[in-house]
């Protein structure tokens, strides 16, 4: 496997298995002189952490980040930033029993077919825990972007069949998302989502949903035709998150049932800026940012770990078998995917800001 590196200038390499000693990331391409502390990263990791609420798994990961390189006297050095989190509350025992039985909906079978083994200790690199490195790196990307005026927002817009039917404002997202366990911008809808999520969970089942990502104040001109289009790289980044089965930009799949005259964003002036009357393009045309907000949505499949009995195949004995998972799992992963997806969007944008010369590659803004 050699696919653990992502990005061209702002480039991350993640490592670590779910139940190994540590999980971590090396972040390369951060300009020198940017203020950075472990607290900056911890804040984002705490948002990803399980056990935050009733709808997330209660594994009590502390996930305390340590920065072991690239920062000196509170500022980045321009050298690679290595961060890691020790895996503490690890108990691989429940997995022993199912060692030879790939869990439906999980990567187990595919890993076994590829590598000849299943890292039964909680899924290894296929486990959600792998995203710790992404979120730590994303925290740095976000901070770098923020210093250049770019803001990243994420929120759950649908879960367990309950959707936010109206458009919510950035203000609502900023204000409400961290105040309910679903990370939904509409507190009332959040209540209903939670109710349905727990209802399914009580029956040993899980639910999915849709998460929306928004990037505000992105300068126009990011994205390189034709294969390094901004939307293509965003799709790559978001689809690389486990459990994501689809990505759409702007109007997305709705475009299939609309007319050109409806989808085309009509252009007009707002001061000296050219903007669209609408933002069906999601801030990207021809793979290049237009200056309008970037809008992407991902569909998150229901958590594959459920306690209902399932059918599998014992890969050692090569015979069909039943599987009954024990333990408590995230009944819905949307809220925990929010910071992961925000991170991936931030990574792509930071990389493209650097590629387009909007962020200076060697020295942080104002640093001499």
Nearest alpha carbon to residue 293 among 355, 232, 213: 213
Print the binding letters for residues 11-50 with a copy of itself: x by CB under 8 A, - otherwise. Answer: x-xxxxx--xxxxx-x-xx--xx-----------------
Q: What's the min distance (Å) between Cβ of 7 and a copy of itself?
A: 8
Please, are residues 290 and 284 in contact by the beta-carbon 8 Å criterion? yes
Q: Under the criterion CB under 8 A, does residue 72 sit at the interface with a copy of itself? A: yes
- Choosing from 96, 167, 171, 272, the residue that interacts with a copy of itself (CB under 8 A) is 272
Q: How far is the CB of 332 from a copy of itself (least distance, A)?
A: 10
Among 115, 149, 175, 187, indicate the residue that binds a copy of itself (CB under 8 A).
115
User: Cα dist. 310→9, 135, 243 in Å?
Assistant: 44, 32, 18
Q: Is 10 in the site for a copy of itself (CB under 8 A)?
A: yes
Parallel, antiparallel, or unpaired for β 65-67 and 71-72? unpaired
Residue placing its CB nearer to a copy of itself in the complex, 73 or 171: 73
Work out whether 84 is an interface residue with a copy of itself (CB under 8 A).
Answer: yes
Q: List the one residue from 93, 116, 167, 202 that touches a copy of itself (CB under 8 A).
A: 116
Q: Is 191 exposed, middle or buried (0-12, 13-18, 19+ CB in 10 A)?
A: middle
If one asks whether residue 65 binds a copy of itself (CB under 8 A), the answer comes out as no
| Residue 82, number of CB atoms within 10 A of its CB | 19
**H or E element at residue 188:** helix 187-202
Q: Pick from 90, 147, 291, 328 the residue near a copy of itself by CB under 8 A.
A: 291
Question: Which 232-271 positions form the footprint of a copy of itself (CB under 8 A)?
Answer: 232-240, 242, 245-253, 255-269
CB proximity list for 196: less than 8 A, separation 6 or greater:
159, 160, 161, 162, 207
285 lines the binding site for a copy of itself (CB under 8 A): yes
Task: Name the helix (H) or strand (E) containing 139.
Answer: helix 131-147
């Amino acid at each position: 496997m050699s696919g653990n590196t992502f990005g061209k200038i702002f480039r991350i390499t993640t490592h670590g298995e779910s139940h190994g000693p540590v999980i971590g990331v090396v972040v390369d391409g951060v300009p020198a002189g940017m203020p950075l502390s472990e607290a900056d990263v911890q804040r984002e990791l705490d948002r990803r952490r399980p056990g935050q609420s009733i709808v997330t798994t209660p594994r009590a990961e502390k996930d305390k980040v340590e920065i072991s390189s690239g920062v000196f006297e509170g500022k980045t050095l321009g050298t690679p930033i290595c961060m890691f989190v020790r895996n503490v509350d690890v108990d691989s025992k429940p997995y022993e029993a199912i060692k030879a039985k790939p869990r439906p909906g999980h990567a187990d079978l595919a890993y076994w077919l590829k590598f000849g083994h299943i890292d039964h200790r909680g899924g290894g690199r296929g486990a959600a825990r792998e995203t710790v490195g992404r979120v730590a790196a994303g925290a740095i990307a976000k901070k770098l972007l923020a210093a250049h005026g770019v803001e990243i927002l994420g929120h759950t817009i649908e879960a367990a069949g309950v959707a936010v039917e109206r458009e919510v404002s950035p203000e609502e997202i900023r204000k409400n998302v961290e105040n309910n366990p679903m990370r939904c911008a509409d507190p009332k809808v959040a209540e209903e989502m939670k109710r349905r999520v727990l209802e399914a969970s009580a029956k040993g089942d899980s639910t999915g949903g849709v998460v929306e990502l928004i990037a505000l104040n992105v300068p126009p001109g990011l994205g390189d035709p034709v294969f390094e289009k901004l939307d293509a790289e965003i799709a790559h980044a978001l689809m690389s998150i486990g459990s994501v089965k689809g990505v759409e930009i702007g109007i997305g799949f709705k475009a299939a049932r609309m007319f050109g005259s409806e989808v085309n964003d009509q252009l007009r002036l707002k001061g000296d800026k050219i903007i669209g009357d609408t933002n069906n393009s999601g801030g990207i045309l021809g793979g290049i940012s237009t200056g309008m907000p970037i809008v992407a949505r991902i569909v998150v499949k229901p958590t594959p770990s459920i306690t209902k009995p399932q059918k599998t195949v014992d890969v050692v004995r090569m015979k069909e078998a039943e599987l009954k998972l024990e333990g408590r799992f995230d009944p819905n992963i949307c809220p925990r995917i929010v910071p992961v997806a925000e991170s991936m969007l931030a990574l792509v944008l930071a990389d493209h800001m650097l590629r387009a010369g909007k962020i200076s590659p060697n020295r942080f803004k104002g640093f001499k």
